[in-house]
Amino acid sequence: MATIRGTSSRDRLFGTGADDIIDGLGERDLLFGYAGNDILNGGNASDQLFGGTGDDILDGGTAIDFLDGGSGNDRLFGGDGNDLLSGAAGKDTLDGGAGSDFMYGGQGDDTFRHYFNELIGSQRDFMNGGGGRDFAAFRDGLGQTASNLTISATRNNNVMVANGIDTVEAKSIEHLFFEPSYAQSRTITIGNLFRTDLATGLIEIAGLNDTVDASATFTRILYRAVGGVNDVTAGFNGADMAQFVVPKTNFGSVWTVMAEAVKGSTSRELHVRELTGNGTQDTTLHRFESIFFRLGNGDHTLTIGDLTGTAFPGLIEIHLGDGHNIIDAGATHNRLRIVTGSGSNQVVAGSANDEIIGTSGADNFHGGGGNDYVAGFDGNDFLFGDAGGDVLFGGEGNDALDGGSGRDWIRGLAGDDTYTGGADVDLFQVHFEEGRDTFVDFRHGEDVVDLQSILVLNSFSDVAARMSQSGTDVWLDLGGGHGIVFQNSLLFNFSEADFRL
C-alpha cells in the first residue's frame, strides 16, 4: 500500500492502481484515489476528494469539503464544516459530521449516520438516499440526547427529524433507526408521513425509558425494547411490531405478557414485563399487531395471559435458544408461533391456530384449542394437538403423539412412536423407516392409516397377509423388525377402509 503525502500548500495528489493512503495536509487539496481500496484524508482546509473505483474511505477533515466515493462500497466522513458528500454507485456509508451537510447516497442501498451533537443554532443536515433502499441511523452524541424527538413531514414532503437542537431533513430514505438514549428518558412523536418516502418504509426504535406516540402515522413501526419503562403507541400501518431480545450474556429470564386494567377506566392495556435482570422492564403497548421475543440460550420462562380487551389482535412469535424453557400461553386467544432450540422445552398454547416447532431435545408441546401445527423433529417428544384439527409431526426419536379432539393429521417418521388419535376422524401417516409404532385408540370406519410410502403394500390383500392377532393386539409386519401394533383390536375388524394405499 503506497502512502502519498501532500504539503502545506495546495496539492493535486493521484493514487496508483493499487490500495493507497493519500494525505492532503494543509491548504485546499484535490485528491484522486483511482483504482484500489484507498484512504483519502483531506486535512485542514476545503478539499475535494474522489475515491474512484474500489471500496474507499474518505475523510474531509476540517472546513468545507466535497467528497465523491465513486463506484464501490465507500465510507465518507465530512468532519467539521458544511460539507457535500456523494456516495455515487455502491453501498455507501455517509456521515456529515459537524456543520450543515448535504449527503447524497446515489445508486445502491446506502447508510446515513447522524449524532445528536453535531449541529449548532440554525445548522441543518440534508440526506438524499437516491436510488436503492436507504437507511439512516440516529444516535445520542456527546452531551446531547434526543430527549424530545419529533419526526414529521415538511411542506415539500420530505421527512424532518428534530430534537430541539439538531434538525435533519431526509428524502428518498426508506428506513430510519433510532438508538436508545442511555442518558435520560425521551419522548418521541411521529406525525403523518403519508406523502413522504417513508409512507411505505420503516421507523425502527431501540427503546429505553421511552414514551412514543405514532398514532398519527401510517408508516410501519418496529419498537425494540431494551429495558426500562416504556409506553408505546403504534399507528395505522397494520404491521407494527414490538420486539424483545434478551442479550447473549443473560442465560435465564422470566417474562409475562398480561392485560391489566387502566386505573380509573374500564379498559385494559397490554404490558410486557421482564421480571429478572437489573430491574423490572415494563413496556406498555397500544395498537401493535405483533410481538416478537428472541430469548436466546438459557432457561427462560414466559407466561402469556388472556389479552382480551387490549385491542391486540395479532401474532406472538417466540424464538428460543438452547436451554430448558417453559412457555405457558394456555390462557391466551392470540395466535402463537414458537421455535425452540436444543434442550427440553415445555409449551402450552392457547385457543388460536398456533405453530410450535422443536429442534433437538425432549420436548413437551400442547397445541391447545384451534387448528395447530406441532412438530418435535429430533428427540423423544410428547406432542399434543388438544382440541381442533391439528397437524402433528414427530420427526426423529421415539415420540408420543396425541391428536386430541378434532380431525387430526399425525405423522411420526423415524423411531418407535406412539399414536393416539383422540376423538373424531384422524389420518395417520406411516413410513417404512419409522421403527415399531403403536396405535393406542384406532377406530375402524373413522381413522385411516396412510401406508402409501410402504412399497411392498399395494392392496388391502397385501396388508391382510402381513397382519396377525397377538393377544389383545393386532400386529402389522412391515419387515426388518418394523411394524405397527394396533392395541385392543381384533384382526377380523380391519377392512380396506382403514388404510390408504
| Mean pLDDT lowest among 266-275, 364-373, 425-434, 446-455 | 425-434
Task: Enumerate helices (H) and strands (E) in the chain, giving the number of each.
Answer: 1, 49
Q: Mean pLDDT throughout 251-275? A: 89
Whether 418 is in a domain gets the answer: no
pLDDT tens digits, residue range 349-376? 999 999 999 998 899 999 999 999 999 9
Residue with the bigger pLDDT between 165 and 242: it is: 242
Model confidence band, residue 481 (pLDDT cutoffs 50, 70, 90): confident
Shared domain check, 61 and 137: no
Q: Mean pLDDT throughout 112-127? A: 87
| pLDDT value at residue 277 | 65
| pLDDT value at residue 242 | 98
Domain stop point among 171, 203, 237: 237
Model confidence band, residue 90 (pLDDT cutoffs 50, 70, 90): very high
Q: Above 90 in pLDDT, residue 165? A: no
> 156 — phi, psi (to 5°)?
-95, 20
C-alpha cell at 379: 428427540
Mean pLDDT of all residues in the chain? 93
Whether 78 is in a domain gets the answer: yes
- Alpha helices by DSSP H, 341-465: 460-465
Shared domain check, 63 and 15: yes
Q: Are 78 and 96 in contact (CB under 8 A)?
A: yes
Shared domain check, 164 and 98: no
Shared domain check, 136 and 77: no
Shared domain check, 135 and 91: no
Q: Mean pLDDT throughout 97-108? A: 95
Query: What pairing do the DSSP bridges indicate for beta strands 220-227 and 202-208?
Result: parallel
Whether 398 is in a domain gets the answer: no
Domain stop point among 90, 108, 126: 108
What is the per-residue DSSP string for 79-105?
-SSS-EEE--SSS-EEE--SS--EEE-
Q: Above 70 in pLDDT, residue 144? A: no
| pLDDT value at residue 141 | 72
Shared domain check, 174 and 122: yes
Q: How many domains does the chain have?
A: 2
Shared domain check, 201 and 158: yes
Give per-residue burial for 209-226: e unless 16+ CB within 10 Å, then b: bbbbbbebbebbbbbbbb
| pLDDT value at residue 311 | 84
Q: Mean pLDDT throughout 400-412? A: 95
Model confidence band, residue 328 (pLDDT cutoffs 50, 70, 90): very high
This prediction's pTM: 0.91
Residue range(s) defining the domain that contains residue 207: 118-237
Burial of 468 (0-12, 13-18, 19+ CB in 10 A): exposed
Shared domain check, 80 and 122: no
d(CA 75, CA 97): 13
Whether 155 is in a domain gets the answer: yes
Whether 409 is in a domain gets the answer: no
Q: Above 80 in pLDDT, residue 434? A: no
Q: Above 80 in pLDDT, residue 335? A: yes
pLDDT tens digits, residue range 6-22? 888 898 999 988 999 99
- Alpha-carbon torsion angle 491, 496, 499, 500, nearest 10: 160
Q: Above 90 in pLDDT, residue 293? A: yes
Shared domain check, 4 and 91: yes
Shared domain check, 180 and 128: yes
Q: How big is the CA angle at 223 (ends 222 and 227), to the nearest 5 degrees? A: 155
Q: What is the DSSP letter of 262?
A: P
Q: Above 80 in pLDDT, residue 223? A: yes
Whether 498 is in a domain gets the answer: no
Shared domain check, 224 and 179: yes
Model confidence band, residue 145 (pLDDT cutoffs 50, 70, 90): low
| Mean pLDDT lowest among 5-9, 206-210, 229-233 | 5-9
pLDDT tens digits, residue range 52-70? 999 999 999 989 999 999 9
Q: Above 90 in pLDDT, residue 294? A: yes
| pLDDT value at residue 279 | 62
Whether 37 is in a domain gets the answer: yes
Whether 171 is in a domain gets the answer: yes
Shared domain check, 122 and 75: no
Q: Mean pLDDT throughout 249-261? A: 88
| pLDDT value at residue 146 | 60
Q: Above 90 in pLDDT, residue 280? A: no
| pLDDT value at residue 252 | 86
Q: Which H or E run contains 187?
A: strand 186-190
Residue with the bigger pLDDT between 143 and 352: it is: 352
| pLDDT value at residue 433 | 62
Give percent above pLDDT 90 in the chain: 79
Domain stop point among 202, 221, 237: 237
Residue 382, beta-bridge partner list: 364, 400
Cβ-Cβ contacts under 8 Å for 430 (sequence gap 6 or more) = 412, 437, 449, 450, 451, 453, 454, 484
Cβ-Cβ contacts under 8 Å for 486 (sequence gap 6 or more) = 439, 442, 473, 474, 475, 476, 494
Residue with the bigger pLDDT between 414 and 325: it is: 325
* Straight-line distance from the first to the last Cα atom of the chain, in angstroms, rounded to the nearest whole number: 71
Residue with the bigger pLDDT between 183 and 362: it is: 362
